[in-house]
Amino acid sequence: MSDQGPLNLAGLARDFPDLIPDPLYRDGGVVYRLRLPRLPGGRAFGGAELVLPPGFPDYAVAKIRLAKDAVLRIPHVEGDGTLCIAGDPGPGITDRLEDRIYWLLSAYHDKFLVRWVAGELDGDFAREPMSYWLIHVARAANRTSDPIKAVWTVDRCPLVSRLVESPLLLPGGIVVVGDAGNNAVSRRIRESLGVRGRQQMQVLVADVPITHALTPGTWPRSVEDLGHILQGRLLPDEWDRLKRPCNRRGRPLHRLVLLRNGGYGFAYLLPGGPPTHTWDKKHKRAHRPLQKPQPLNVVRLDAAWTAGRDQCPEVSARQGRHVVVFGAGALGSPIVDQLAKAGVGKIDVVDPQDLATANLGRHLLGADHVDSAKSFAVADRVNLAYPTCEVKPFYVSAQIWLREHGLSGIDAVLDLTGEPIVRSCVDHARLRNPCPLLLGWMEPFVAAAHACMLPADVAWFQGAHDPMEELNAVDWPDAVVIQEPGCSSRFQNYTAAAATHAVALVAEQAIKLIDGPESAPRVLSWVRGQQYLDDHWSNLRLRAWAEQAAAYDGLVLERTFPIE
Amino acid sequence: MPTSNVDLVLNAEKRRRAYITEAVTALRKDVETTDFATLSQIYGPWSQALERVNRHITVAQEDIDAAAAQYGKVGHCLLRTLQWPENSIEVCPQGSASTQTLIRYPDRTKFDIDAVCQVDISRVDASDPVGFFESVGDALRAFSPTAKKRCWNIAYPGERFYLEFTPSIPLSTVSDQIVEAMAPRFLPAHGYEGTALAVVDMPTKRWKTSNPKGFTRWVDETADLSLIRFETSEFASLRRIRAGVEDVPDQDVEITDTLRAAIRLFKRHRDMCVRREIIEGEFKPISVVIVTLLTRCYAGLAAANRSYAHPLLLLVELAELLPHMVAPEGEYRVDNPTVDGENFAERWNDDNDSRYRAFRTWCDVLGADLRLILQERGDQAIRAEVDRVFGTTGAADADNDNEIRPLQASAHRPPPPPPRTVGLA
């Protein structure tokens, strides 16, 4: 590295006279200061510098860093002062480092300086308000003594302001808001947190809907600011209660103010809660109560966000759906997972088997659940992963479950067992309680997979005839399906990757069936091409209806049901 | 019988808490003077900071000019399409554009220019107000207007403004029979009969009295009353009349024009309170309520022979009296001074006090914020607090040329790097 640093600045200096060519060596990198033009009073900031971080040019990109006084005062500035603009494209684009720096300095001047001074960036805080809020939260946080670390919301924003009690899960310091009157979600969250949610205490939350994204210029700064907001929004008795926060025993409660809308959430812990203690080795330390409101991160766990990123209006209705899934095997277990991810509110999963090591290569569960009941293990896993879905396990056969529960109140049945007796019992139960049905199954090697969707009034059995075999895409020789030693069940080796096609097909159709409205009965099939068949077994042929897939790696085909 | 302005002010004075006045009085310390120059020196940092806000929230003249040009075009289009003679309509600004209290929103979204289109009665079938309203909409079809309660809204994609165009006829030309059929039947206030209009109220499908010109005249005349003892700069309103289409008045207003400055600053503060979520947008005090209350307060102070040694003192007085200009007992009333019986606060009486509470909360915060500003010391601190309160970070100083120019084309400039696509993962 030369005295001038790693760059030849002579060329750059012509177009960027504000670049001071004296390198400063800092934090393993090189820094060049940038002179600032005369900026108007409200737009001035302490300084700017070109930073070539360690790893530049091969593994890092050059950046512009502004003085700390720019943070939260100027948009697009990260917590450490780095200006978030696209400038240096990184290695591989050009051999000339000076070009990369030229692009960066141009972007700094034209995309930032010019626009900042012209006021064109003023509205940009509101475009990504949570990024700046997180910087604010991080600055105010004290990891050891903060009694509350974050707020998790599990419902949609209320239409009118309300004062609610919510659980604070300790020692994780997480308040779960929005589970009023039904603590199922917070219970599942507590379980998913493990030791972080071992204890709980109640906190008082003023849950206030807002219209605008709050920005550094409009964040409430003080108890008085928050008081102005709350006084106009809460009912007089709620306002009084928030001002005198005690539980039934007269002990002080923590108080939170949660300002949120469908997209954003901002929370403050108010001063005046119970004292906070931490353990410092063997000594218990008491911490000073808050002197001013502490900003807190708000994390959304409601299904509209986790399942639909607010772009899927169907999620709201799915939350009210109750689905039963028969079979928690290679097809059923990932389908339960997919339904939970899609926002389905309640799933009964029915399977009488335990997980065996032979299942591991293609099951949702792993070796930690070998010899566990599949239904319970799947339910545990999905309940922990997706608190907005309640999965109830049944370690019984589908027949017994149907005898004991029937299909009353069930919005959709998924038969993913492949078992004729289950198909028969399900059809029988549907006579009493008509209910949409999806039958899903795979053929050997997952050379084909099928999802048959039947409206509530259409039976699977055509008289006494079970149509599954004739819906298949291939005539399978007996030798393909190996008899498992000591077991009457059939199995056939296939990869989890191949099965994923089947899972995707069945999961998509299951979600459509759950969303409704019911359409005409039909069968959707994923059929692999001739090359795939040849790679797995000799002399396999697609049936006539499926032959059109032969030339492809795979094709999705739709048929009416029953087939003609 | 509406309460007189002076009675309203005297009642408000009894109810007020002088907490902002205390803060402004403290600035003088022990200096006992009414000398304007001395007071200007004492109050200078605060009044200059507010002046800067006042300037910042002004809608740029080029935007006003662009809007005014369109507004003229709309008037002429109406004449051309309906094949009416030149003198059969008159288009003039109403609302904040005519009272010089137009301000821009904190997020730089569009501002609205309200215009009223006054049509000669001979061109209108007065027995069919809806037909008249719709015929104006049809004539403006080229502008793709959207019908609202009493006006046609014309959006201008890519521009910073939109027009609200209200068809009307002079009330004095309407027959007694039509006047009888108006509901509610408001009559123009004494002294404002000549400018009263009948506009179409689409929800009731009837004519309704309105008086935008009279209202503007009332604000103008009140603002001309001098409450500052040593006023140094005089404000002259700039109104130009041209061929039946009246230009939008220049929106530059100095803080010495204290009524208009107060209206503009307080409206901006109201908008910021909505942005700060202190009051809900749905219940915020609407502009005409703020203008009416402040103007009545100003007129009442003049009638009570109050005078002030500096505009800042008058501004503080207006802020302190404002919350008490609406009686909290009985029916909430903010009477239109130019149309007898019309209550701008009509909706306050059937919303479980939501609007009244929002008004009081806003007034409280306005007072608290002004007090915080007055408690700051030093130009930087005052400016920072003013910027926070009014959302004016980055507002220009009067003498500062802020522009920084983009880089000029250079022979050394490398071609831009090829674009890169980000894949979803």
To the nearest whole Å, the CA of A39 is away from the closest chain B CA by: 7
- Closest alpha carbon within chain A to B398: A40
The minimal CB distance from A217 to the residues B358, B388, B410 is found for B388
To the nearest whole Å, the CA of B224 is away from the closest chain A CA by: 34
Q: Concatenated DSSP letters for A57-72? A: TTT---EEEE-GGGTT
Are A73 and B413 within 8 A, CB to CB? Answer: no
Q: Are A558 and A523 contacting, i.e. CB atoms less than 8 angstroms apart? A: yes
- Within A107-148, residue ranges assigned H as helices are 114-117, 129-140
Q: What is the pLDDT, as a whole number, of residue B89?
A: 81
Are A43 and B402 within 8 A, CB to CB? Answer: yes
- The pair of structure tokens assigned to A385 is 């992963």
Q: Which residue type, as a one-letter code, is found at position A75?
A: P
Q: What is the pLDDT, as a whole number, of residue B226?
A: 87
Low-confidence ranges of chain B (pLDDT < 70): 1-2, 108-109, 183-185, 230-254, 394-402
Instruction: Give the C-alpha separation, B47 to B310, whole Å.
Output: 9
B280 CB neighbours in chain A (<8 A) are 211, 232-233
B56 CB neighbours in chain A (<8 A) are none
pLDDT tens for A195-225 read 888 888 899 999 999 999 999 999 999 999 9
Residue A42 CB partners (closer than 8 Å, separation 6+)? B383, B387, B392, B393, B394, B395, B396
Residue B14 CB partners (closer than 8 Å, separation 6+)? none
Q: Are A90 and A58 contacting, i.e. CB atoms less than 8 angstroms apart? A: no
Q: What is the pLDDT, as a whole number, of residue B238?
A: 32
Q: What is the pLDDT, as a whole number, of residue B246?
A: 59
B395 CB neighbours in chain A (<8 A) are 42
The minimal CB distance from B394 to the residues A11, A113, A119 is found for A119
Mutate one of A233, A258, A264 to test the B interface: name it (highest B CB count within 10 A).
Answer: A233
- Calculate the alpha carbon distances from A199 to A190, A195, A287 in Å: 9, 9, 20
Q: Concatenated DSSP letters for B313-354? A: HHHHHHHHHGGGGS-SSSS---B-TTEET-BTTGGGGGTTTH
What's the mean per-residue pLDDT of chain A?
A: 91
Instruction: Give the C-alpha separation, B339 to B71, whole Å.
Output: 26
Assess B55–A contact: CB distance below 8 Å, yes or no: no
To the nearest whole Å, the CA of B423 is away from the closest chain A CA by: 16
Side-chain half-sphere of A551: how many Cα atoms within 13 Å? 1
- The pair of structure tokens assigned to A263 is 């997209």
Q: Are A323 and A414 contacting, i.e. CB atoms less than 8 angstroms apart? A: yes
Buried b (16+ CB within 10 A) or exposed e, A395-404: bbbbbebbee
Are A73 and B417 within 8 A, CB to CB? Answer: no
Q: What is the pLDDT, as a whole number, of residue A4?
A: 46
Residue A350: closest CA among A283, A318, A397, A384: A397
Count of H-run helices and E-run strands, chain B: 13, 11
Residue B166: closest CA among B88, B79, B92: B92
Assess A11–B contact: CB distance below 8 Å, yes or no: yes
Q: Are A519 and A451 contacting, i.e. CB atoms less than 8 angstroms apart? A: no
Mutate one of B59, B107, B273, B276 to test the A interface: name it (highest A CB count within 10 A).
Answer: B276
Q: Are B193 and B173 contacting, i.e. CB atoms less than 8 angstroms apart? A: no
What spatial distance separates the first Cα and last Cα of chain A, rounded to whole Å? 79
Instruction: Give the C-alpha separation, A270 to A292, whole Å.
Output: 7
SS3 category, B101: coil
pTM above 0.95, yes or no: no
- The pair of structure tokens assigned to A26 is 């800092």
pLDDT tens for B387-418 read 999 998 766 665 555 678 888 777 778 888 88
CB-neighbour burial class of residue B303 (10 A; exposed 0-12, middle 13-18, buried 19+): middle
Q: Are A413 and A456 contacting, i.e. CB atoms less than 8 angstroms apart? A: no
Q: Concatenated DSSP letters for A449-505? A: EEEEEE-TT--SSBTTB-THHHH-SB---GGGSEEPTT--SEE----HHHHHHHHHH
Per-position pLDDT tens, chain A of length 564: 444 456 777 778 888 999 998 899 998 999 999 999 988 877 899 999 999 999 999 999 999 999 999 999 999 999 999 999 988 999 888 888 899 999 999 999 999 999 999 888 988 999 999 999 999 999 999 877 888 999 999 988 999 999 999 999 988 899 999 876 667 788 888 888 888 888 888 999 999 999 999 999 999 999 999 999 998 889 889 999 998 877 777 788 899 999 999 889 999 999 988 887 777 777 777 777 788 999 999 999 999 999 999 999 999 999 999 999 999 999 999 999 999 999 999 999 999 999 999 889 889 999 999 999 999 999 999 999 999 999 999 999 999 999 999 999 999 999 999 999 999 999 999 999 999 999 999 999 999 999 999 999 999 998 889 999 999 999 998 888 764 454 545 556 688 999 999 999 999 999 999 999 878 999 999 999 999 999 999 999 999 999 999 999 999 999 999 877
Are A15 and B361 within 8 A, CB to CB? Answer: no
Assess B413–A contact: CB distance below 8 Å, yes or no: yes
Are A217 and B383 within 8 A, CB to CB? Answer: no
Assess A139–B contact: CB distance below 8 Å, yes or no: no
Residue B258: closest CA among B324, B317, B323: B317
Assess B410–A contact: CB distance below 8 Å, yes or no: yes
B107 CB neighbours in chain A (<8 A) are 123, 126
Are B393 and A73 within 8 A, CB to CB? Answer: yes
